[in-house]
């Protein structure tokens, strides 16, 4: 059961101070909401969506970190943030002068400043340089990605627990499904989300949502229903069928960290095509767990798995990654795709997301969350044994 | 996409003498394509970039977003990006896609407020013959005044938010003898009902009481309690957002709570009277602050008194001291005036308005909250 008591100290502050001490930087300034959340611990869900109401954190070697935010959320930030010093500004629109003045003040006399260049907007960057023409700027992105991908023990525990809870949520929801009481995808998605809420996840909006899909619509990542349009935050209201292989997906968050879960269920014993393609998924899953070891690169895992799939006649979803890390954002580096050359190491957490395409075009998937421990992957989100989908109750 | 909007965008390009746009902001992409990207801001590592010109458009994005945009029947070209696509790779793909086209050496508008410094530098490097101009003013100008069809979508989004709140109130009614569900679950009912009524997605939602209610945002699973409660929610319909929020009372309201609510409506009514074409946002802000002070009502001025809604849940214009935008016909404003309850709770009652030729038209008309809504009554059987 998730409870805040278990996760009081993720040791982020100690880690960042130690890592910063080893750099030549005087301070680190982050503009990306995810980096701000990582450093502060404050999850304010609407910050990414209110693009004119920007936040930042300035973390100096020799002084207290500062959280910069619009005045209207100051008290909310103060409540949730580990960073005690907050400087607020009156919002005036995108990259407002007030915002950049606050950032410049927080930087103070620092000479060498590291910035998350993948996140800071061009306008904010230029305004900062106008205010601080003499600072030397370095890119902090790789350093930040490195800090974030190598989880502290507290983060490992928290992420493992959330992943387990998400899987438990799916199981808890599946307990209610019955072949002689099939409802719509939308209604099931709401029920799945409720079962996550019952397990103490944080109930927020936006991408913290559930998706249920099957038959024709199971061919899509984000199924669009003709009648209702692209209601991507919910599921279509089409009725499921007794012979569906249903995809039950849910993203949940707790204490600012995420789980990305997806499992299939059926209403009765599996049909032959389900056995075939779920079997292919399980085969791939076992293969990936067999090759993932500390020291192997993400790209190598991807290439080997893709080659194995081709050899076995398993059709994988085109151009889609085979896995991603997770933390204060749902998708984080490193990604298991054909490009990422980062080596997998102990302390990293991944969600393995191979999607097998069945002959009817449906996506067959079942996400495994793994924690790298003592050189090997440990699956942390098996609430039940997933060698088969959840087989529902045929009739009551 | 509606032709009025396409014509407006293309006229804007002509006005700013731009051959095309390279756009990174997810909300700008929605505006220019009519297609939503699912929860894009929650995926900060992902890149989605739109090249827009009157003759050709191309979206660069990860495969699942591309598929989603295709399903929404957007007619432009699409290029899939790897999940871990770097700025260099993106720049190279942009450069390849534009090779041989006039855009590669043209005047290209960039939404610099939403394009990362890293991507901006790569675009400059890999399109060395193009002249890069900030398109922030153009995008602001285009988006701040809505077309008729945008206003319809905003009205519909407002209706869904209001239905969500009404549904939550309906479910709470008749339960005060045995309130067994929590504040966050009550808030969840708003979200679910927006789905049931046809909304596309829900953004922020909260149900806050007591100490949590003294802040804008909170997270609390405690049971609903006697007293004030504030329900806030944002929701989207076909790419257009609404921001709604209502303050109600569980059980019979105290005289102090009723007065606090009346005071809020008094200031809100005054603010509404100032919403006219030609009025400057900062002047409206100042006048409302002065009026509140004159009446001895503590308006929470640091929160501003409202903001625009459109392809994002909060955008220009802002009713704050810092925005000197002049209101104009067909701007759409969420009038959001916060005052204090008896125990310093932040209370408000948001309504969304279209600025008309000489005043306002309410878009969030579903239900009037002209007095403090009290949830009273014990459980009774329905037939």
pLDDT band at B63 (very low <50, low <70, confident <90, very high): very high
Given CB atoms, is A148 within the 8 Å cutoff of chain B?
no
pLDDT band at B173 (very low <50, low <70, confident <90, very high): confident
**Could you give the ipTM of this predicted complex?**
0.97
**Beta partners for residue B246, in sequence order:** B231
Sequence-ordered list of residues with C-beta below 8 angstroms from that of A153, at least 6 positions apart, any chain: A11
| Residues B190, B198: Cα–Cα separation, whole Å | 12
How many CB atoms within 10 Å of residue B160? 25
pLDDT band at B178 (very low <50, low <70, confident <90, very high): low
Whose CA is closest to A248, among A77, A137, A386, A111? A386
What are the DSSP E strand ranges found in A143-233? 210-213
Position A180 scores a pLDDT of 81
- The verdict on a CB contact (< 8 Å) between B184 and A203 is yes
Q: Are A322 and A353 in contact (CB under 8 A)?
A: yes
Question: pLDDT for B286-298, tens place per residue?
Answer: 999 999 999 999 9
Nearest-Å Rg of the Cα atoms of chain A is 23
Query: Which of B67, B84, B118 has the CB atom closest to A220's CB atom?
Result: B67
Question: pLDDT for A27-41, tens place per residue?
Answer: 999 999 999 999 999
**Testing the interface with A: which of B33, B45, B289 to mutate, by most A Cβ within 10 A?**
B45
Position A395 scores a pLDDT of 65
| Residues A320, A365: Cα–Cα separation, whole Å | 12
Query: Which single residue is written with the structure tokens 């290439």?
Result: A303
Position B379 scores a pLDDT of 65
Q: Which chain A residues touch B219 with a CB distance below 8 Å?
A: 202-204
CA of B192 to nearest chain A CA: how many angstroms apart?
7
Is the per-residue pLDDT at A337 higher than 90? yes
Whose CA is closest to B200, among B157, B159, B143, B152? B157
Sequence-ordered list of residues with C-beta below 8 angstroms from that of A167, at least 6 positions apart, any chain: A261, A263, A381, A382, A383, A384
Question: pLDDT for A135-168, tens place per residue?
Answer: 999 999 999 999 999 999 999 999 999 999 999 9
Tokens (6 digits) for B302 = 């640091």
Q: Are B212 and B228 in contact (CB under 8 A)?
A: no
Is the per-residue pLDDT at A96 higher than 90? no
Segment A201-211 shows an average pLDDT of 93
**Range in A76-80, A93-97, A375-379 the model is least confident about:** A93-97
Residue that wins the pLDDT comparison between B369 and B178: B369
pLDDT band at B381 (very low <50, low <70, confident <90, very high): low
Q: Helices marked H in A198-233 — which ranges?
A: none
- The verdict on a CB contact (< 8 Å) between A121 and B184 is no
Q: Which chain A residues touch B110 with a CB distance below 8 Å?
A: 122
Position B380 scores a pLDDT of 62
* Maximum average pLDDT range among A89-93, A264-268, B52-56, B240-244: B240-244
**Testing the interface with A: which of B33, B42, B64, B194 to mutate, by most A Cβ within 10 A?**
B42
Q: What percent of chain A has pLDDT over 90?
A: 85
Tokens (6 digits) for A75 = 């008290």
Given CB atoms, is A327 within the 8 Å cutoff of chain B?
no
| Residues B223, A51: Cα–Cα separation, whole Å | 33
Segment B301-313 shows an average pLDDT of 96
Is the per-residue pLDDT at B383 higher than 60? no
**Beta partners for residue B362, in sequence order:** B353
Q: Are B59 and B78 in contact (CB under 8 A)?
A: yes
pLDDT band at A91 (very low <50, low <70, confident <90, very high): confident
Query: Which single residue is written with the structure tokens 């002689």?
Result: A180
| Residues A101, B56: Cα–Cα separation, whole Å | 40
Is the per-residue pLDDT at A318 higher than 60? yes
Residue of B nearest to A142 (CA): B86
Indicate yes or no: pTM above 0.95: yes
Question: pLDDT for B224-253, tens place per residue?
Answer: 889 999 999 999 999 999 999 999 999 999
Q: Average model confidence (pLDDT) for chain B?
A: 94
Is the per-residue pLDDT at B284 higher than 60? yes
| Residues A256, B196: Cα–Cα separation, whole Å | 28
| Residues A321, B80: Cα–Cα separation, whole Å | 12
Question: pLDDT for B113-164, tens place per residue?
Answer: 999 999 999 999 999 999 999 999 999 999 999 999 999 999 999 999 999 9
Q: How many residues does chain B have?
A: 383
**Testing the interface with B: which of A29, A140, A184, A222 to mutate, by most B Cβ within 10 A?**
A222
């Amino acid at each position: 059961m998730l409870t805040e008591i278990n996760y009081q100290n993720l040791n982020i502050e100690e880690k960042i101070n130690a890592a910063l001490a080893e750099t030549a930087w005087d301070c680190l300034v982050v503009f990306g909401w995810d980096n701000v959340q990582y450093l502060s611990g404050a999850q304010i869900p609407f910050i990414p969506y209110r693009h004119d109401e920007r936040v930042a954190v300035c973390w100096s070697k020799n002084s207290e970190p500062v959280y910069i935010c619009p005045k209207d959320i100051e008290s909310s930030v103060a409540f949730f943030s580990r960073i005690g010093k907050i400087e607020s500004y009156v919002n005036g629109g995108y990259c407002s002068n007030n915002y950049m003045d606050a950032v410049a003040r927080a930087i103070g006399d620092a000479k060498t400043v590291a910035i998350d260049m993948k996140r800071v907007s061009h306008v904010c960057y230029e305004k900062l340089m106008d205010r601080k023409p003499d600072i030397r700027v370095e890119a902090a992105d790789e350093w930040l990605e490195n800090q974030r991908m190598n989880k502290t023990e507290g983060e490992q525990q928290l992420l493992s627990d959330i992943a387990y809870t998400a899987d438990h949520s799916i199981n808890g929801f599946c307990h209610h499904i019955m072949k002689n009481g099939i409802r719509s995808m939308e209604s099931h998605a709401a029920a799945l989300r409720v079962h996550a809420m019952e397990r103490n996840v944080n109930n927020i909006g936006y991408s913290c949502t559930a998706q249920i899909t099957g038959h024709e619509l199971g061919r899509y990542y984000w199924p669009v229903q003709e009648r209702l349009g692209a209601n991507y935050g919910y599921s279509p209201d089409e009725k499921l069928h007794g012979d569906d292989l249903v995809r039950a997906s849910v993203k949940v968050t707790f204490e600012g960290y995420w789980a990305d879960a997806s499992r299939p269920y059926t209403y009765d014993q599996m049909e032959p095509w389900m056995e075939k393609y779920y079997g292919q998924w399980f085969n791939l899953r076992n293969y990936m767990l067999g090759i993932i070891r500390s020291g192997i690169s993400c790209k190598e895992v991807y290439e080997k798995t893709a080659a194995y799939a081709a050899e076995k006649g398993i059709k994988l979803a085109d151009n889609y990654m085979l896995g991603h890390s997770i933390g204060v954002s749902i998708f984080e580096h490193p990604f298991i795709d054909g490009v990422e050359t980062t080596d997998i190491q102990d302390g990293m957490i991944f969600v393995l997301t191979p999607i097998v395409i069945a002959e009817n075009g449906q996506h067959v998937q079942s996400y495994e969350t793994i924690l790298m421990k003592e050189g090997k992957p440990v699956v942390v989100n098996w609430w039940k044994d997933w060698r088969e989908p959840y087989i529902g109750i045929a009739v009551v | 996409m509606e032709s009025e909007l396409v014509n407006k965008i293309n006229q804007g390009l002509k006005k700013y003498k731009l051959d095309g746009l390279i756009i990174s902001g997810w909300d700008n992409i929605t505006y220019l394509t009519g297609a939503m990207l699912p929860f894009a801001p929650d995926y900060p590592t992902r890149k989605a970039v739109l090249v827009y010109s009157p003759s050709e458009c191309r979206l660069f994005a990860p495969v699942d977003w591309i598929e989603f945009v295709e399903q929404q029947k957007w007619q432009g070209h699409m290029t899939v990006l790897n999940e871990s696509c770097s700025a260099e790779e993106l720049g190279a793909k942009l450069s390849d896609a534009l090779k041989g086209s006039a855009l590669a050496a043209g005047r290209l508008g960039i939404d610099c407020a939403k394009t990362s410094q890293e991507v901006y530098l790569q675009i400059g490097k890999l399109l060395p013959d193009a002249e890069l101009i900030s398109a922030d003013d153009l995008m602001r100008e285009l988006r701040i005044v809505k077309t008729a069809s945008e206003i319809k979508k905003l009205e519909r989004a407002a209706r869904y938010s209001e239905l969500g709140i009404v549904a939550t109130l309906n479910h709470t009614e008749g339960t005060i003898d045995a309130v067994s569900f929590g504040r966050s679950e009550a808030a969840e009912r708003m979200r679910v009902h927006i789905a049931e009524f046809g909304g596309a997605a829900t953004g922020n939602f909260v149900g806050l009481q007591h100490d949590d209610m003294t802040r804008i945002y909170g997270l609390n699973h405690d049971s609903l309690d006697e007293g004030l409660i504030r329900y806030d929610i944002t929701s989207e319909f076909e790419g257009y957002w609404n921001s709604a929020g209502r303050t109600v009372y569980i059980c019979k309201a105290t005289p102090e709570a009723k007065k606090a609510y009346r005071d809020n409506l008094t200031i809100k009514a005054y603010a509404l009277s100032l919403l006219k074409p030609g009025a400057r946002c900062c002047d409206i802000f100042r006048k409302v602050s002065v009026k509140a002070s004159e009446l001895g009502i503590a308006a929470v001025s640091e929160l501003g008194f409202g903001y625009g809604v459109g392809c994002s849940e909060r955008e220009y214009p802002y009713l704050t001291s810092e925005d000197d935008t002049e209101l104009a016909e067909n701007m759409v404003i969420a009038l959001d005036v916060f005052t204090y309850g008896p125990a310093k709770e932040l209370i408000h009652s948001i309504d969304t308005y279209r600025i008309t030729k000489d005043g306002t038209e309410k878009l969030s008309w579903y239900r009037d909250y002209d007095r403090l809504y009290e949830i009273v009554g014990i459980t009774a059987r329905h037939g």
